[in-house]
Chain A
Amino acid sequence: MQDFDAIVVGSGITGGWAAKELTEAGLKVLMLERGREIRHQQDYETETKAPWELPFRGLGDSALYQREFPVQALNRHFTEWTQNHFVNDHENPYATAAGSAFNWYRSYQLGGRSLTWGRQCYRWSDYDFGANKRDGIGTDWPVRYADLAPWYDKVESFIGVSGAHEGLAQLPDGRFQPPMALSIVEQAVRERIAARWPDRCLTIGRTANLTEAKPDEGRAPCQYRNICNRGCSFGAYFSTQSSTLPAAQSTGRLTLITDAVVERVDHDPKTGRVTGVRWLDTKTKQRRSATSRIVFLNAGAFNSVHLLLNSASEAMPGGLANSSGVLGTHIMDHANTLSAIALMPGFEAHTTFGNRPTGVVIPRFRNLETLDGNGFTRGYSFQGGALQSAWTRGKRAAGLGAELKQELHRPGPWRMVLVAFAESLPRATNRLSLHKSATDANGLPQLEIAFEHGAQERAALADAKAEAAAMLTAAGGNVVMGLDQPGPGGTAIHEMGGARMGWDAKTSVLNRFSQAHDVPNLFVTDGAQMSSSACQNPSLTYMALTARACDHAVGLLKAGTI
């Protein structure tokens, strides 16, 4: 008799979903989380702090960041308010291969990066699921939009996604709450772009911030503060804490253990099944274990792969579920850069009230029905928005005294920003492996990341820069700057792949239900399963795939086949 029906490793965006779905289906579930506990509405320590209540006024202690958070501090969401929602790099080292740069942004805590994410939620379409097959790069997805559509419905309805229906084939509409409004400037840009390019649509971000309460779940509508990553006591954005965890806990079937680093998944070579997991209790330094009928890996793409590599055994010397040899390969991110900033004259008499917690999006318009990309076969899309310059503009210009104070008293000029996310191609050479000698604090081999953007991504960003400038100029703006080189890998914080899905057990790790080809009671439902990257933010798709895999796993358990 096993201790649990299911063990879920990780409590972030996908782990929370697995715990909810499996407990609601009647299973007794253990969820293990390596980080500390953070309780909803009680432990969001900086949520209501004003800048003058923080010693470094929100900028944080740069000297400390350089010593302990040199990677995390490179991400603009890392501030004095949010620093305790990101990992200490010094205590959580990883290696990069020679010639590789990869900034790995992580949150090791209850809720994982569901607390810190940007909440953008976009469905994928068959342009995305069909991409590998179409140009022959990577392995064909064993999933199409029709397989996932009902699961997108389910996830959106539960987490609460606000957005506008646009009827776009490349960015299917979902079950949306009412959209947040475009600002006057964004509305004008939308209209001017549409007038010139009927196939380009600027729409409000589809975001997991509520515009309507979800009283059954104790979640209030958004209050327009735009400080979500500090944690939100209104429960107005989706996080594990605000949404999936209370649902799982209310079944009475969830056991949650925090401060538990899972080090190994146990595999029985006689049955070919996994039997449970082992972990280190970081508070007591004791090693513990539990058994279960099925195991779900939701540690975040790279950590799930790390765990599979660390779970190598005599029977599976290259890593658990790695008979194909592709485990760790074909990792991706998005190639990400600031394509354009433009001044937007003509709106000097207008301003806005409130802090909207989402920007806008211009969905992909390249390589849809016709392959019209110059040097690239995939897509890119823009996110961004209009803003009125704040007091910080005073740091860039001459001026002193009462005159400067008077000038900064007023909102500054309107500007429009467009940031590109270009599809990252799945390449075998971009891969994760175990470092030969370096170990982490607990003695396990460090993860080594080899990653480079390729010519396709660079061509896409060059096109994005030109098109961003053309659109903002046509919308009446004066472009002041733009970039076409991607930030280092990891910059988009959409790292994924490494245990890809595929039709064939010889060339992929997982089947179309996120189930290991080699090990029928092992499921990997975070970003590791991705066979391509599309150019949308990926987490909504991870959630839909997780819910679908849970349904499949429960069906197999009930049928007695696993």
Chain B
Amino acid sequence: MDTGVGNGLKRRDFLQGAALLGLVLGLPVTTPALAADAIPTGRQLRVLDRVSDIVIPQTGTPGALATGVPAFVVLALAHGLGGTGVPVAASESALRPFLRADGTLRHLDWLEATLDQAAGSDFLRLAPLEQVRILTGIDNAAFPPGPPLAVPSPWASLKGLILTGYYTSQAGAAQELRYELVPGRWDPDVPLKAGDSAWSNDWTAVEFG
């Protein structure tokens, strides 16, 4: 595709312009403050760290911890992202101890209690492989083979937020996967080779899953 144009913007100029603009303004990403009741306990944060690390460990590329996933999950829960702000059906008695007055779930309370219960003791004191085994059990129960659960497990939302936190972080989106702000062309058929990575910014695919 020819990208040079008369007095229109050229791709190269555009990229330079965007980069310069960023440099000049030095636009930082500001993180919104949390409401008091959205601040997790120290132990909940340690549980979330451990769980995020199990879901997306460091491999050849950074994992969830190095990319700040737990902090994103805390922010996301405080603002109800990924459906976590929607009230839970009152009939879900197993969840009742973890509900706020408005019917929404305290996801981190639920996670902490569910892991400790499955561990039969303090989840954080178990050996790492034991922790993986326990989380695998919860994960398998949340996504059984066949049709999805009528009432989704809270783990499905938490896992979704961990994945979002990771694959929208710089390392997750642009190092683990491929991110191209300006592809510049469209090739309708390219051989897929072993080791090729998926795009993190194929927006339609991201949306439809």
A interface residue numbers (CB < 8 A to B)? 41, 48, 50-59, 61-64, 66, 76, 180-184, 186-187, 211-216, 218-221, 223-227, 233-235, 341, 348-356, 359, 385, 387-402, 404-406, 408-412, 415, 417
Contact = CB atoms under 8 A, between A and B. Distances in A.
Contacts of B6: 213, 215-216, 218
B169 interface: yes
Contact of B208 (A64, A223, A235, A417): A417
Contact of B182 (A225, A235, A398): A225
A405 B176 contact: yes
B208 A181 contact: no
A376 B179 CA distance: 46
B209 A223 contact: no
B184 A224 contact: yes
Interface stretch (B40-48, B78-86, B92-100, B107-115): B78-86
Contacts of B26: none
Given A50-B179, A215-B7, A57 B72 contact: yes
Contacts of B192: 348-351, 410-411
Contacts of B207: 76, 392
B139 A398 contact: yes
B148 interface: yes
Nearest to A234: B9
B3 A398 contact: no
Interface of B: 1-11, 14, 18, 22, 27, 29-32, 54-57, 59, 63, 72, 75-76, 78-82, 85, 132, 135-136, 139-140, 142-143, 148, 156, 159-160, 163-165, 167-170, 173-174, 176-177, 179, 181-192, 196-209
B7 A412 contact: no
Contacts, number: 241
A183 B11 CA distance: 24
Contacts of A212: 2
Contact of A234 (B14, B164, B190): B14
A391 B163 contact: yes
Contacts of A216: 6
Contact of B205 (A64, A233, A348, A387): A387
B170 A50 contact: yes
Contacts of B140: 398
A234 B9 CA distance: 6
A55 B28 CA distance: 10
Contacts of B200: 51, 390-391
